[in-house]
Amino acid sequence: MIEVSELTVRFGGVTSLDGMSVRFEAGTCGLIGPNGAGKTTFFNVLSGFVRPAEGHVRAFDEDLLSMAHFRRARWGLRRTFQTEQAIESLSVYDNVALVHEHSKLGRANRRGEVLDAIEFVGLRDVAYVKVGTLGVGSRRLVEVARAVVGKPRLVLLDEPAAGLPDAETAHLGELIRRIPEHSEALTILVDHDMSLVSSCCPVTAVLDFGKMIASGPTADVLRNEQVVRAYLGAEEFQ
Amino acid sequence: MSTAELQSATPLATPPSAPRRVERADLVRTMVIAVLLVFVLIGLPQMLSVYYIDSMTQVAIYSVVALGLGVLVGRVGLISLGQAAVLAIGAWVAARLLFATSLPYEVVLLASGVITMVLGTLVGLPALRMRGLYLALITLMLAGAITVALASLNFPNGGHGFSGYNGTFVHIPSLRRPGIATTDPAYFRYSVIVAALMFLLVLAHVRTRPGRAWAAIRQSEPAALAAGINTTLYKLWAFALASFITGVAGGVLAGAVRYLYSIDFQTQDSITLLAVVLMGGAYSIWGAIVAGLLLQLLPAILNNAGVSPDWLIILFGIGVLQVLTTAPRGIVDQLPRDISRLGRRLGGLTRRSAASHGEAP
Amino acid sequence: MSGALVLRDLVVSRGGRDVVRNVSVEIAPGEVTALLGPNGAGKSSMVLAVGGVLPLKGGSVMLGERELARRRPEHIRRAGVAIVPEGRRLLPGLTVEDNLRVATYALSNQDAAAGRARALELFPELDKRLGTQARALSGGEQQMVVLAQALVSAPRFVIIDELSLGLAPVVVQRLIPTIRTVAESGVGVLLIEQFASVALGLANRAYVMEGGRVQYSGSAQELQDNPDLLHSAYLLRGLGDGGSAGPTDRVPAGG
Amino acid sequence: MHALLVMALSLPSWQDEQPFLVTGLALGGVYALSGVGMIVLYRTTGVLNLSFGAAGAFGALIAWQLINHSGMNQWLAYLVCILFAGVVTLAYGMVFGRRLAGRDAVVKTTATLGLTLILLGAMDLLWTSNGGASRAITLPTDSHGFMIGQVQVTTTDVIALAVGIAITIITTAFLRFSKLGTAMRAMANDREITATLGVPVRRVEAAAWFGCGVVAGIAGILLADLVALDATTLTFLVISSLAAALIARLSSIWITFAAAIVVGVVDATLTPITSLTNYRDMTPFVLAAAALLVLNRKRVLSLARQEF
Amino acid sequence: GSSSKSSSKSSSSASSSAAGSASSSGAASTNTAACGSKAGAPATGSPINIGTIDTHQPGTDFTDGPNMITAYFNCVNANGGVHGHPLKLFVQLDQTQPSQVAAAAKQLIQSDHVVAIDGVFDLLECTIDQSFWKQLGIYEMDAGIAPECWSTPNSAPVNMGPRYSSDGAVQYALNSVHASKIVFVQSNVPGTGYIAGGPAALAKAAHVPITELTENVPITDASSVAVNLVDAAGANGSVVLNFTPPEALVILQAVQKLGLEDRVKSWGCSTPCDTDFLAKALGPKWNHKLFVNAEAVDADDHNGPEIQLYKAILAKYGSSVAGGIGSFSQFGFLLAKFLVQALDTVKGPYTMKSVNAAIVGIKGYHSEQLCDPWTYGKLALHIPNNSDYTVTPDNGKMITAQGCTQISAADPQIAQYRSVAKAHGVNLG
Ligand SMILES: Nc1ncnc2c1ncn2[C@@H]1O[C@H](COP(=O)(O)OP(=O)(O)OP(=O)(O)O)[C@@H](O)[C@H]1O
Ligand SMILES: Nc1ncnc2c1ncn2[C@@H]1O[C@H](COP(=O)(O)OP(=O)(O)OP(=O)(O)O)[C@@H](O)[C@H]1O
Ligand SMILES: [Mg+2]
Ligand SMILES: [Mg+2]
């Protein structure tokens, strides 16, 4: 459970988040909104890269914002980046192990859990290959594996399917749907591919100009007039 | 680096059993290194003239310095143009302690390592806020400042006071060496052992948790933070490690040269140091040894051949340009590929000839 | 304006491997042409090579009578061929305003001002961001800037790699008629797009690339009507082998 | 506290400081010249040209050779010097600058150290300081001058400061009012993309490299006169200008100018303060380090991939 | 043990050039014939190996010294050698790295089997190798800079060195100019701190205040330095510089540019300033304003038989002496001449022992170029060149301002040397 209240972020004259309040309960939740609405900024606040001007975030009854940024991963917060950031000079295994060894998890079962995550995203065959030699699709999967290894509590996915063709998006969607059962984490998915969002997320929240304009069951949200006007555009989705 | 690395990567068809193989290769590699080390320790001093033994001692010392810079540049992505100044600090501390105390040499080495580590980390502390070009330039500035300060302060020569320098000496005493290594071959062995220990120390870092953390930091700090890495800590750690081993190298250097002068630690040396580290290969442990050879053995050979040292500088300049434009991973990356190609060809030959021998009745 | 942009038998090599092999594509003026294909098919490499950024190993790029292959990027741009490379490659340290100004470098001051105005009309979202450094923009805003850079500078041909990357649906919808208008004004457009429906909806002709080769070429309508065609082209390569890491040396059937 | 008091008491009077101010201003002018030259190139190509000093020194030594051993007219020889520095820098830019264009700024800058080493080695090879022989370039303007109060000011001093001011004004105007200025900054960001946008990058960068080299040549001659005609000295004197450029965060030309003047003046005016005089050469380092640390207080996280 | 690797470094190619000169005849060969015992007869015996270590690094090149010795040896070898034995010089160059200097010494002894060390022109060598030479019983002859060149039993230099030359310049300012204050300034290059001790002692003995300053080199703001020196000395004071020629020139030119020459009573300089180049570079305003201590005669002004021989050897064999006529090659000539003279006295085989016995036995060797005869001797310290003269610029040339004068024994080192030398029976002028 994560509860965001009155979150405001300003960059100079730009207000990227403007009193954002929302509550994500469990499972996989969608977060959508027009370009520049503040979705990535919201993720950056959660991971500690951006310090909000105002507001609070409580996650599983802890004050997330008072935590040092690198501690949040230890606490169980994981994310992927809009521009993929897998570490090229390390193997897939080391990429994932890296996250594991900086979490609170013991080392006893490290190898097993790391391989488990790699298996989960379907990269077992290339587990010892350097990431630098992999293609875009696989790199995104490496990021997903890093996000689910061990026992994450909160997984943030920032446009993981951008630039992936339909078939691979479908594969990715399947993975995202299985994250809650794999690791019991609360997952927040940002993407502009509505078919991916509606197939993965039972609930969705919509951000516009830094404010929440709608939230609830995905199907309802996507029919919301305001959302259609601000984000989806007139004709799409029926 | 990203493009270069991609380009150098051949399309892989790595079999799933890779890890097992890697372990066997590791074992072989360890054995090879052990044999090499034994040869260097026992065989080499017998074969070389004193002239080359001394320059090999320097190679051992400067390999460690290059290794430290290699950790910063190659592993963490922090360019430092001030490592010669750090070496100078290490040597200064060691010299001061050697004159002032009668501590065992090993203790002096450790102390100069630790004190240099503290100072180096202090330098690293503000530098942590910046990276890339700014870090390179600020370290260049700091190195320049340290050079000027050392020129005014002077290296200890057995005098009293904080600086341990007495300008009026018409007789400058030499620095002592460890009791077990007073002769040149013995001191060479001593240096190699210390260097080997420093290499092991770095290896122990690179192969494990800090190594992976550094790789993450090098590529993208936000990604590293998101992976739970305390980037400040690990960057300081890298500075501390590099300064420590450079400080120890400074201590070994003090005993090797026995007289220290600030002219031997110029701002320019930091630049040539970076040049050879890049030429050798900042990403690899072996690169450090190549850098040491380039920096100390090559000049000795050229000097002995009567070639002007100016050529060496020109050579380093060309080397830097060559490496940066065509082989960003340094000589150690290129050479083995050439050698392994050669080896494969030779291997093919011997196998063929062995086969033909076997066939002979 | 007459004459198509004809790419013939292009070969592009990356990392010592041919990633585009004998690809021929024709981009007609006044039309939208779609280029589809899975990850690693070689689409982006082809775009970069046409734009003069990557070296062409073989083939020709003819603009009417003019050979553009192996010319420098600025020549190709000045000849009227604008490319939008993949990955939102803008000028990160410059403001949005300056990014647009550079894109109209070759135009007269008047045309440049008009171009800038058109860009803001197309992407009103950028209006408030004009003074912001491009690297601080959101992903979608960056995509808008690179599209604007190509569209405002009066090209004769535009090649857009990943049109809708990171754009909100509402923006994509706004773009579709724009692209159509641009094409109707006589510009030849080549679209690379992961949302096949978007691309095929716009395009007259379509090509499908896989493993560095063109596996299909024909009318966009036909592809849209027979999704199986598209899938069969895509699926030649089997799924889940980890994207583009798989060996592509096998010569696929057909082509 | 006590040390401060002692220092304060031994501070020289304004009267005593005046001549130091003059030399400081002249040197500061040349540092500004060099600093601005480097910044223009940096803003165009992303290369901080550390071979700047070496190219100027090489040119100055050639001029010396021509004047003293070939009997060439000295103005012609200075022209040769300027052209040489321009051409060497241009050649480097065309061969290596271009091949490294897509790499990280720190790589591009490190590569210029390669050129620096080559030039330095070649200079020592060609003009060894054999037996401590010394060389000098003496501009005719050295013997002209005037007095301000008690202080002798030579025309060379005036020229040095004037050239520094002139280049500052000219480049500022150029970068601000011409669209070439924007194109130059765009190139430093991403040369490839700038080219695909239709900017004639080769011509623009050739102009920048050559211009930088020419400025290096001018600075080389002035510094050879004001400081010394010595390869190593002139090569590493670039650090003072570099400090000024750094204080300006490698972007503002006016701040570079101001910082260069400050570096020159502080360095010179510390001379008569006995307790600090031997440490005064630390001025550029200290000022730049302090400025960088203060200016970089705000942490910036960037997702950009770094080389090395 | 050392390998049997043959070193192909810059040893003199004695035999080949000897053969070359034998066939050529004419005026030059009769001029140079004086260097050997048998004019025109090439030496064919087993060579006598001599070693030297010299600084050669970017910015500092002392190789004119050893190159001149090689030229002299070639001349000797072409004219009968030393009792028929040719001389061979093994040169080790160093880049001011202590370890390199130490290694070079061992290389010379162990690989090159030299029997004597002659002609060391080095920044560090005396300091670093002293104990090694002592251990082996080698008496080196050098032209040094490091303090140990003058203060140890196993080294004797032909030059006077920075300290005693500075003494000379200060002495002139005190005794001849009657300066009421001395400002002594030198570089703060490490290991040169001991130099200031001499001038300080001299000034103290004369009850004249002295200010000692150091400057970072290279000097980047000579104008500031110049102003500072003038301010420090005052109208009745003298400024004495101890720098290498480039640095001294830079300061003096700045003085000239700012018109400060006359703001002090006189300017002084240690030996390195004694070049016509400097006289030329400075204008006529400096005539009898700048007084330079000169360690050896100006070869351009003198034309005795020794100077003639020096010039002839330089012309015929000295193509590698880049600087031509100059103090480096003059000292090289002296070091070679004294060595050959000493070797001539050796009876029997040329071993390390016999040769070094001859060297240390050198006593009262005359030279036109020095004020006093030169003596080695088993002494605790050696300052055999301790009496010299002063020159001053005169319209682009250096002319003599004061003839041979003994350096004052107010410098305790000089006093100590004179007392041990006297005990040894050396006649000091
Ligand atoms: N460092 C910054 N400085 C100035 N403005 C910023 C900065 N970071 C973000 N912004 C602005 O904040 C707004 C929100 O950006 P954000 O990246 O959160 O959008 P987003 O919802 O992720 O959009 P997209 O879907 O396009 O990625 C944008 O308008 C962006 O320009
Ligand atoms: N810098 C590079 N070095 C070496 N190989 C590369 C490089 N970039 C791409 N490749 C390879 O070239 C091939 C074609 O890639 P390209 O990016 O052109 O495909 P694409 O069709 O655009 O795919 P995507 O849909 O992922 O953008 C792939 O196999 C890829 O691995
Ligand atoms: Mg975003
Ligand atoms: Mg692509």
How close E235 comes to chain D (CA, Å)?
15
The three-state secondary structure class of E11 is coil
Please give the backbone phi and psi of residue E321, each rounded to the nearest 5 degrees, phi first: -85, 95
- Residue D292 to residue D308: CA distance in whole angstroms: 22
Inter-chain residue contact B258 with E111, CB threshold 8 Å: no
Q: Where are the domains of chain A?
A: 2-76+153-237, 85-151
pLDDT for res C233 = 58
User: Which of the residue ranges A122-126, B350-354, D54-58, E228-232 has the most confident prediction, judged by mean pLDDT?
Assistant: D54-58
Q: Strand C5-14's sheet: what is its strand order? A: C17-27, C5-14, C56-63, C66-67
Domain interval for residue D237: 17-124+139-307
Within 13 Å, how many C-alpha atoms sit on residue C65's CB side? Answer: 0
Block residue for tokens 């090689």: E70
Contact A8, A2 (CB under 8 A): no
Say which amino acid occupies A174: E
pLDDT in tens, A191-230: 998 889 999 999 999 999 888 898 889 888 888 888 888 8
Within 8 A of D100 by CB-CB distance, chain B residues are 324-325
Measure the CA dihedral C26/C28/C32/C35, to 10°: 0
* Cis peptide bond upstream of C252, omega within 30: no
Q: Which of C171, C180, C215 is nearest to C199 (CA)?
A: C180
Q: Are strands A62-63 and A77-79 parallel, antiparallel or unpaired?
A: unpaired
- Residue B307 to residue B302: CA distance in whole angstroms: 5
Mean pLDDT of chain A: 87
DSSP class of residue A94 equals H
Is B touching D (3+ C-beta pairs, cut-off 8 A)? yes
Q: Which CATH number fits domain A2-76+153-237: 3.40.50.2300, 3.40.50.300, 3.30.360.10, 3.20.20.70?
A: 3.40.50.300
- Residue A201 to residue D167: CA distance in whole angstroms: 61
pLDDT for res E258 = 81
Q: Where are the domains of chain B?
A: 53-165+175-263
pLDDT for res B156 = 84
- What pairs with residue A5 in β-bridges? A56
The three-state secondary structure class of E392 is strand
DSSP class of residue A229 equals I
Of B152, B218, B314, the CB nearest to D118: B314
Pocket test for ligand 1, best of A9, A10, A11, A42 (most atoms within 8 A of CB): A11
pLDDT in tens, D195-219: 988 889 888 889 889 999 999 999 9
Residue with CA closest to ligand 2 atom 16 = C42
- Residue E184 to residue E388: CA distance in whole angstroms: 20
Binned at pLDDT 50, 70 and 90, residue C236 comes out as very low
pLDDT in tens, C14-30: 877 888 999 999 999 99
Q: Could you tell me if the CB of A17 is within 6 A of ligand 1?
A: no
Say which amino acid occupies C191: L
pLDDT for res B48 = 82
Q: Does the structure show a pLDDT above 70 at B338? A: no
- Residue E77 to residue E18: CA distance in whole angstroms: 6
Work out which ligand 2 atom sits closest to the CA atom of C20. 14
| Nearest C-alpha in D relative to A83 | D303
- Residue B114 to residue B243: CA distance in whole angstroms: 8
Binned at pLDDT 50, 70 and 90, residue A232 comes out as confident
Strand ranges (E), C15-55: 17-27, 32-36
Within 8 A of E247 by CB-CB distance, chain D residues are 228
Element holding E212 (H helix, E strand):
strand E210-215
A85 in contact with D, Cβ within 8 Å: yes
Angle at A192 between CA A190 and CA A196, to 5 degrees: 80
What share of chain B in percent tops pLDDT 90?
A: 30
A138 CA from centroid of ligand 2 (Å): 12
D42 assigned to some structural domain = yes
Contact E85, E43 (CB under 8 A): yes
Mean pLDDT of chain E: 86
The CATH code of the domain at C1-80+156-255 is: 3.40.50.300
Average pLDDT on E85-95 reads 92
Q: Does the structure show a pLDDT above 60 at C237? A: no
DSSP class of residue A91 equals B
H and E: helices and strands count for chain A: 9, 10
pLDDT in tens, D252-271: 889 999 999 999 999 888 88
User: Which of the residue ranges A94-103, D172-181, E316-325, E407-416 has the most confident prediction, judged by mean pLDDT?
Assistant: E407-416
Binned at pLDDT 50, 70 and 90, residue D280 comes out as confident
pLDDT for res D298 = 54
List the structure tokens of B65: 């310095």
> How many inter-chain contacts (B to C, CB under 8 Å) are there?
16
B145 in contact with E, Cβ within 8 Å: no
Element holding A79 (H helix, E strand):
strand A77-79
Is D touching C (3+ C-beta pairs, cut-off 8 A)? yes
Contact B132, D249 (CB under 8 A): no
A83 in contact with D, Cβ within 8 Å: yes
Q: Does the structure show a pLDDT above 80 at E300? A: no
D132 assigned to some structural domain = no
Ligand nearest to the CA of C38: 2
Residue E104, sorted as left (phi over 0), alpha (psi -120 to 50) or beta, turns out to be: alpha
Inter-chain residue contact B7 with C17, CB threshold 8 Å: no
- Residue C235 to residue A56: CA distance in whole angstroms: 48
Element holding D147 (H helix, E strand):
strand D145-148
Inter-chain residue contact B10 with C14, CB threshold 8 Å: no
List the structure tokens of A130: 């350097």
Give the number of other Cβ atoms within 10 Å of residue E136's Cβ: 16
Q: Are strands C17-27 and C5-14 parallel, antiparallel or unpaired?
A: antiparallel
ipTM tops the 0.85 cut: no
Give the number of other Cβ atoms within 10 Å of residue D20's Cβ: 24
Residue E313, sorted as left (phi over 0), alpha (psi -120 to 50) or beta, turns out to be: alpha
Within 8 A of B79 by CB-CB distance, chain D residues are 106, 110, 308
Sign of CA dihedral B69, B70, B74, B76: negative
| Nearest C-alpha in D relative to C87 | D193
Q: Which of E410, E412, E406 is nearest to E427 (CA)?
A: E406
The three-state secondary structure class of A15 is strand
Inter-chain residue contact E322 with D130, CB threshold 8 Å: yes
How close D175 comes to chain E (CA, Å)?
32
A166 in contact with C, Cβ within 8 Å: yes
pLDDT in tens, A52-86: 999 999 998 889 888 888 888 888 899 999 888 88
Mean pLDDT of chain B: 81
Mutate to test the interface with C, among D193, D251, D298 (most CBs of C within 10 A): D193
Of C52, C94, C106, the CB nearest to D186: C94
Q: Could you tell me if the CB of A46 is within 6 A of ligand 1?
A: no
Of C40, C173, C244, the CB nearest to A233: C173
Element holding D225 (H helix, E strand):
helix D201-226
Within 8 A of E258 by CB-CB distance, chain D residues are 19, 152, 154
Please give the distance of CA C157 from its chain centroid, rounded to a whole number.
10
B13 in contact with C, Cβ within 8 Å: yes
Please give the distance of CA E204 from its chain centroid, rounded to a whole number.
28
Of B7, B9, B11, the CB nearest to C247: B11
Of E215, E248, E259, the CB nearest to D152: E259
Contact B252, B87 (CB under 8 A): no
List the structure tokens of A193: 């591919």
Binned at pLDDT 50, 70 and 90, residue C50 comes out as very high
* C-alpha separations of E423 from A64, B108, E417, E420 in Å: 89, 45, 10, 5
Interacting residues of A49 by C-beta distance below 8 A, sequence separation 6+: A69, B222, B225, D301
Q: Which residues of C146-155 are buried (b: 16+ CB within 10 A; e: fewer)?
A: bbbbbbbbbb
pLDDT in tens, D7-31: 555 666 777 777 788 888 888 988 9
Q: Could you tell me if the CB of A132 is within 6 A of ligand 2?
A: no
**Number of structural domains found in chain D:** 1
User: Which of the residue ranges A54-63, D42-51, E202-211 has the most confident prediction, judged by mean pLDDT?
Assistant: E202-211
Give the number of other Cβ atoms within 10 Å of residue E383's Cβ: 25
Contact C98, D182 (CB under 8 A): yes
Contact E289, E260 (CB under 8 A): no
Give the number of other Cβ atoms within 10 Å of residue B42's Cβ: 10
- Residue B322 to residue E82: CA distance in whole angstroms: 52
pLDDT for res B183 = 87
Of A83, A129, A230, the CB nearest to C170: A230
Average pLDDT on A99-106 reads 81
DSSP class of residue E177 equals I
Q: Which residues of E208-247 are buried (b: 16+ CB within 10 A; e: fewer)?
A: bebbbbbbbbbbbbbbbbbbbbbbbbeeebbbbbbbbbbb
Average pLDDT on B210-239 reads 88
Block residue for tokens 């939102």: C88
End-to-end CA distance of chain D: 45
Is E touching C (3+ C-beta pairs, cut-off 8 A)? no
Q: Which of D5, D65, D66, D41 is nearest to D204 (CA)?
A: D41
Binned at pLDDT 50, 70 and 90, residue B126 comes out as low
The three-state secondary structure class of D295 is helix
Binned at pLDDT 50, 70 and 90, residue E10 comes out as very low
Pocket test for ligand 2, best of C10, C12, C13, C19 (most atoms within 8 A of CB): C19
What share of chain E in percent tops pLDDT 90?
A: 52
Pocket test for ligand 1, best of A7, A14, A50, A83 (most atoms within 8 A of CB): A14
Q: Give the helix ranges, DSSP H, for chain B.
A: 2-8, 18-38, 44-47, 50-70, 83-100, 105-127, 132-153, 184-206, 209-219, 221-226, 231-257, 267-280, 285-292, 298-304, 309-326, 331-359
Read off the CATH number of the domain in which D92 is found: 1.10.3470
Mean pLDDT of chain D: 84
Element holding C7 (H helix, E strand):
strand C5-14
Contact C100, C177 (CB under 8 A): no
- Residue B357 to residue B351: CA distance in whole angstroms: 10
pLDDT in tens, E413-426: 999 999 999 888 87
DSSP class of residue A156 equals E
List the structure tokens of B260: 């220290």
Q: Where are the domains of chain C?
A: 1-80+156-255, 92-154
The three-state secondary structure class of B10 is coil
| Nearest C-alpha in D relative to B72 | D308
pLDDT in tens, C170-216: 888 888 888 888 899 899 999 998 888 888 888 999 998 888 888 88
